[in-house]
Chains A and B, each alone.
Chain A
Amino acid sequence: MDTGSPHEAGPDGPQGTIEAAGGEPVWIALPPGLLRMRRLLLVVWLGLIALAAGLLPGLLAGPAWAAFALPPLALMAWGWVMIERNWRSWRYAERDDDLLISRGVLWREETVVPYGRMQLVEVTSGPVERHFGLASVQLHTAAAATDATIPGLDPAEAERLRDRLTELGEARSAGL
């Protein structure tokens, strides 16, 4: 069985690698950067909304109306937990011939993409992601429905994955 990457299981990843017995794939979890970024975005946006929802009625109609700030705050607390659950659920594994991606808490999805089917591999990184030092890897096959994206990777890991997938894809390439 093919191993993941040797430099996985960072000190800050409690579930860095989940290794099950008996020829199971080596699952690799996402680094914590994505969690930090999503939580920060959540706090910033919902914080602004809460401030607006609290201040405006509070000043215009009386202090009791400032309670409008509570729903966004509750949403923020809920989102804080949910984002972690969702982040924890993301994991991927490189096997000899295919890439596995597993994700989702309530709606679970597990995708298998054979390397031979890859048309191209993309590494993308938006401005916010770049600020947090993150990049995502996206695999395209001839089927548009194939949604094989791994978000929130370390750029170095993303590039390693891209190079490895491209190499394997060329070695095993097959037509349509």
Chain B
Amino acid sequence: MTAHGATETSEAAAEVSERRLHPVTPLRRAWAPVAVLIGWAVHDPDGAQRHLTRLTTTTLLIGLAVLVPAAALYGFCSWWFTHFAVTGTELRIRTGLVFRRTAHIRLERIQAIDITQPLLARVAGVAKLKLDVIGTDKKDELAFLGADEARTLRAELLARAAGFAPETAHEVGEAPSRQLLRVPPGVLALSLVLTGATWVSVAAALVVPPVLWLFTHSLWTVLAVALPLLGAAGASSVGRFVAEYDWTVGESPDGLRIDHGLLDRAHETVPPGRVQTVRIVEPLLWRRRGWVRVELDVAGSSNSVLVPVAPREIAEDVVARVLPGVSVPGPAALSPAPRSARWCVPLWWRGYGLAVTDTVFAARSGLLRRSLALVPHAKVQSVRMTQGPWERARGVADVCVDTGANKTVRARLREAGEARELLAAQAERSRTGRRDARPDRWMA
């Protein structure tokens, strides 16, 4: 432990109490060797069968008698040697039986906190707590905690990250949340039906295997092609419905709450001021109904959907909560690409547009599936202007804005002089925009 660092007072050191994960955890870990065996059997079915027939019942029983306790012991040890502690500034995870490893996660760098409950975990009443902090591994998650414990721990972490004193962080509890939006299952299902990608994947899964069978008459080829296609079709239709079922977005002082899932429930909390980019996507078939999908990028997080489907006004209202003080520029506010750009990207040049407001850099792209990306000036890491030979001949250039979530927003095909001004102005704006950005500890 590093708790007895010279600077830390004895009072603070005494306060660090280490905890263990939920006792159900060893059971999950005990599955690992069995899963390896099953994986091997699936990978090499012939070999597995040969080995199985050679085994007698006795050896099988003896093998099981050794394997199961060994797995249980492994699970128990890995549980026994995993501790975590919350200090004033960090979450410490100490783990490892042979190779010791301590992760120190700085609370004011928290980008998002997820609680996920896979189906089996829901049955057992446990949950997984995952912290998105820049520069940490995927390993740094707490699996599993009791469901209530996970919720209180999340509240405590958020309260400490927000700058509450350690003594009061316990008492703050879970901040009250106000529901902003809930997606009805019917709307979600209809939105998936109206998405072209769903139909393309389903059609591919239905058409390609029979055609292949006609040409090759080889079962293995057809299976090798059909299984991934079926998987993709399932993931893009049923899978998405199951994952995005009962999507709820709520607002609380701790940040934005996103809850979703039919079988596996996930609760995500994004603290204020962590969103780097917001994209408003508008597929062709949704336009008549005025629906949009909102995606967001948070540094260090893989989760990227904010609203799977919602009417435009409601979605814009949610965006205004995520990026305070930002209003989404309407189609009229976007300045289109100049006519001289029409030979750079024929036809699709009409899709590009740009609007720069006091608070955001907004670039639109796409003709059929429109996508409008918003970057707050305070989140811009660097600005670039690029110009290829063909673009130079037409007197246009692209302006790219890089954000901390490793996403680049490109305003394509701007008039060259305008692009140059934009480059200078954007650097200036993102500098002044940062001065009045909120502090990392938003309650302090």
Which residues of A line the B interface, CB within 8 A?
A: 97-98, 106-114, 116-117, 141-146, 148, 174-176
Contacts and interface: CB of A to CB of B under 8 A. Distances in A.
Contact of B427 (A98, A106, A144, A145): A98
Contacts of A117: 380-382
Contact of B437 (A106, A111, A145, A175): A175
Contacts of B168: none
Contact of B389 (A97, A106, A110, A144): A106
B192 to A, nearest CB: 32
A144 B406 CA distance: 6
25 contacts: A97-B427, A107-B386, A107-B387, A108-B392, A110-B384, A110-B386, A111-B382, A111-B384, A112-B424, A114-B431, A116-B434, A141-B381, A141-B382, A142-B381, A143-B381, A143-B382, A143-B402, A143-B403, A143-B408, A144-B406, A145-B406, A146-B402, A175-B440, A176-B274, A176-B299
Contacts of B437: 174-175
B372 interface: no
A146 B64 CA distance: 54
B305 interface: no
A143 B404 contact: yes
Given A174-B434, A176-B299, A112 B382 contact: yes
Nearest to A116: B434
A148 B427 CA distance: 15
B134 A176 contact: yes
Contacts of A174: 434, 437
B423 interface: yes
B430 interface: yes
B384 A106 contact: no
A107 B426 CA distance: 21
Interface of B is mostly: mixed
B133 to A, nearest CB: 11
Given A141-B404, A174-B434, 7 more contacts: A97-B427, A98-B427, A108-B387, A112-B423, A144-B406, A175-B437, A176-B274
Contacts of B383: 111-112
B387 to A, nearest CB: 5
Contacts of B407: 145
Nearest to A146: B382
A176 B406 contact: no
Contacts of B386: 107-110
Nearest to A144: B406
Contact of B299 (A108, A114, A116, A142): A142
A116 B431 contact: yes
A98 B426 CA distance: 12
B186 interface: no
A29 B431 CA distance: 26
Given A108-B386, A142-B299, A97 B134 contact: no
B388 interface: yes
A104 to B, nearest CB: 8
Contacts of B400: 145
B434 A148 contact: no
B183 interface: no
> What are the 6 A-B residue pairs with the smallest beta carbon separation, nearest first?
A143-B402, A142-B404, A143-B381, A112-B427, A146-B382, A141-B381
Contacts of A113: 381-382
A114 B134 contact: no
A114 B382 contact: yes
A97 B431 contact: yes
